[in-house]
Amino acid sequence: MKNYFRLIYFFIFINQFSINHLQAQQTEKSTASGYVKDSKNGEKLIGVNVYIKGTTTGTTTNEYGFYSLTLPKGKYELVASYIGYSPLIKEIDLSAGNVKMDFEIVEQDIQLQEVVVKAEADDQNIKGIEMSVNKLDIKTIQKIPAFLGEVDVIRSIQLLPGVATVGEGATGFNVRGGAIDQNLVLLDEAPVYNSAHLFGFFSVFNPDAVKDVKLIKGGIPAQYGGRLSSLLDVRMKEGNSKRFEMNGGIGAIFSRLSIEAPIVKDKASFIVAARRSYIDVLAKPFLSSDLRGSQFYFYDLTAKVNYTINPKNTVFVSGYFGRDVFGSGFKFNWGNATSTVRWNHLFSDRLFMNLTAFYSNYDYEIGFKDDVNRSRFDWNSNIINYSVKPDFTYFLNTKNTIKFGAQSILYDFRPGNAVITSNDIKSDISLDPKYALESGFYIDNEQKIGEKLTLQYGFRYSTFQYMGKGEAYEFGQEKPNTRRPVISVKSYDQWETIQNYGNFEPRFSMNLELNATTSLKASYNRMVQYLHLVSNTAAATPVDVWTPSTNNIKPQLADQFAVGLFKNFQDNTYETSVEVYYKDMQNQLDFIDNSDLLLNRFLEGDLLQGIGRAYGAELYVKKNKGKLTGWISYTLSRTERQVEGLNNGNWFPNRYDRPHNLNTSVSYEFNEYWSASANFVLQSGTPVTFPTSRVQVQDYVIPYNVEATRNNFRVPTYHRLDFSVTKINRKKKPNQRWESNWVFSVYNAYNRRNPFTIYFRRNQDVPLNTEAVRLAIIGSIVPAVSYNFKF
Partner 1 sequence: MKINKLTLYILFILPFFSSCEDVIKVNLNESKEILTIDAFINQQAEKQVIRLSLTSPYFQNEATPPVRGATVAVTNQTGGGVFQFVDKGNGNYEYQANNPIGKVGDDYLLTVTYQENIYTSRCTSNRTTVIDSIVYEYDEKENNPNSKAGYYASFYGVDAKGKQDFYWIRSYKNNVFVSNPFNINYAADATRNSTPGLLGSDGLLFIPPIRNRITDDNDPFQKGDSLRVEIWSINSDTYEFLRQVEAQMLNGGLFARIPENVRTNISAQNPANKVLGWFCVSEINRRGVIIKELKKGEKGKG
Site for partner 1 in 257-286 (CB under 8 A): 279-280, 283
Stretch that binds partner 1, among 20-28, 54-62, 122-130, 530-538 (CB under 8 A): 530-538
Task: Measure the CA–CA gap between 400 and 506, rounded to whole angstroms.
Answer: 19
Determine, following the binding rule CB under 8 A, whether residue 599 of this chain makes contact with partner 1: yes
Determine, following the binding rule CB under 8 A, whether residue 645 of this chain makes contact with partner 1: no
Task: Measure the CA–CA gap between 219 and 640, rounded to whole angstroms.
Answer: 21
In the bound state with partner 1, the residue whose beta carbon lies nearer, of 297 and 343, is 297
Burial 589-600 (b: 16+ CB within 10 A, else e): bbbbeebebbbb
Determine, following the binding rule CB under 8 A, whether residue 778 of this chain makes contact with partner 1: yes
Determine, following the binding rule CB under 8 A, whether residue 602 of this chain makes contact with partner 1: yes
Candidate list 486, 512, 563, 611; residue touching partner 1; CB under 8 A: 486
Q: In the bound complex, what is the minimum distance in angstroms from residue 150's beta carbon to partner 1?
A: 12
Closest alpha carbon to 789 in 745, 752, 736, 724: 736
Q: How many residues does the chain have?
A: 791
Q: What is the 3-state secondary structure (H, E, C) of 560-599?
A: EEEEEEEEEECCCCEEEEEEEEEEEEEEEEEECCCCCCCC
Binding pattern for the stretch 219-258 against partner 1, x by CB under 8 A and - elsewhere: ---------------------------------xx-----
Site for partner 1 in 422-451 (CB under 8 A): 422-423, 425, 427-429
Site for partner 1 in 47-76 (CB under 8 A): none
Binding pattern for the stretch 91-130 against partner 1, x by CB under 8 A and - elsewhere: ----------------------------------------
In the bound state with partner 1, the residue whose beta carbon lies nearer, of 29 and 714, is 714
Q: In the bound complex, what is the minimum distance in angstroms from residue 708's beta carbon to partner 1?
A: 6
Q: What is the 3-state secondary structure (H, E, C) of 752-778?
A: CCCEEEEEEEECCCCCCCEEEEEEECC
Task: Measure the CA–CA gap between 297 and 146, rounded to whole angstroms.
Answer: 20
Residue 237, beta-bridge partner list: none
Determine, following the binding rule CB under 8 A, whether residue 601 of this chain makes contact with partner 1: yes
Determine, following the binding rule CB under 8 A, whether residue 692 of this chain makes contact with partner 1: yes
Per-position DSSP letters for 213-270, written without gaps between them? EEEE-SS--TT--S-SSEEEEEEE----SSS-EEEEEE-SSEEEEEEEEEEETTTEEE
Q: Could you give the residue ranges of the DSSP H alpha helices within 254-377?
A: 279-283
Q: In the bound complex, what is the minimum distance in angstroms from residue 422's beta carbon to partner 1?
A: 4
- 3-state secondary structure at position 374: coil
696: how many CB neighbours lie within 10 A of its CB?
9
Determine, following the binding rule CB under 8 A, whether residue 706 of this chain makes contact with partner 1: yes
Q: In the bound complex, what is the minimum distance in angstroms from residue 256's beta carbon to partner 1?
A: 18
Candidate list 357, 723, 777, 787; residue touching partner 1; CB under 8 A: 777
Angle at alpha carbon of residue 474, lines to 469 and 477, rounded to 5°: 160
In the bound state with partner 1, the residue whose beta carbon lies nearer, of 180 and 418, is 418
Task: Measure the CA–CA gap between 408 and 442, rounded to whole angstroms.
Answer: 12
Cα 701 to chain centroid, rounded: 43
Stretch that binds partner 1, among 66-74, 348-356, 659-667, 755-763 (CB under 8 A): 755-763
Determine, following the binding rule CB under 8 A, whether residue 701 of this chain makes contact with partner 1: yes
Task: Measure the CA–CA gap between 51 and 122, rounded to whole angstroms.
Answer: 13
Candidate list 348, 772, 785, 791; residue touching partner 1; CB under 8 A: 772
Candidate list 697, 732, 734, 735; residue touching partner 1; CB under 8 A: 697
Determine, following the binding rule CB under 8 A, whether residue 325 of this chain makes contact with partner 1: no
Site for partner 1 in 19-38 (CB under 8 A): none
Stretch that binds partner 1, among 1-9, 119-127, 461-469, 762-770 (CB under 8 A): 762-770
Any residues with CB less than 8 A from the CB of 308 and at least 6 apart, and which?
A: 266, 267, 268, 314
Binding pattern for the stretch 358-397 against partner 1, x by CB under 8 A and - elsewhere: --------x-x-x--x-x-x--------------------
Q: In the bound complex, what is the minimum distance in angstroms from residue 232's beta carbon to partner 1?
A: 23
Determine, following the binding rule CB under 8 A, whether residue 648 of this chain makes contact with partner 1: no
Whether the bond between 37 and the residue before it is cis, its omega within 30 degrees of 0, is no
In the bound state with partner 1, the residue whose beta carbon lies nearer, of 357 and 701, is 701
Q: In the bound complex, what is the minimum distance in angstroms from residue 183's beta carbon to partner 1?
A: 20
Q: In the bound complex, what is the minimum distance in angstroms from residue 295's beta carbon to partner 1?
A: 10
Task: Measure the CA–CA gap between 11 and 510, rounded to whole angstroms.
Answer: 19
- 3-state secondary structure at position 67: strand
Candidate list 474, 478, 672, 771; residue touching partner 1; CB under 8 A: 771
Q: In the bound complex, what is the minimum distance in angstroms from residue 746's beta carbon to partner 1?
A: 12
Task: Measure the CA–CA gap between 677 and 441, rounded to whole angstroms.
Answer: 44
Query: Is the CB of residue 61 less than 8 Å from the CB of residue 40?
Result: no
Candidate list 5, 9, 704, 738; residue touching partner 1; CB under 8 A: 704
In the bound state with partner 1, the residue whose beta carbon lies nearer, of 506 and 779, is 779
Site for partner 1 in 711-740 (CB under 8 A): 711-712
- Strands 518-529 vs 531-534: parallel, antiparallel or unpaired: unpaired
Candidate list 139, 693, 727, 738; residue touching partner 1; CB under 8 A: 693
Site for partner 1 in 158-197 (CB under 8 A): 169-170
The site for partner 1, by CB under 8 A, has a size of 96
Candidate list 148, 272, 531, 558; residue touching partner 1; CB under 8 A: 148
Determine, following the binding rule CB under 8 A, whether residue 655 of this chain makes contact with partner 1: yes
DSSP class of residue 484 equals P
Task: Measure the CA–CA gap between 511 and 502, rounded to whole angstroms.
Answer: 30
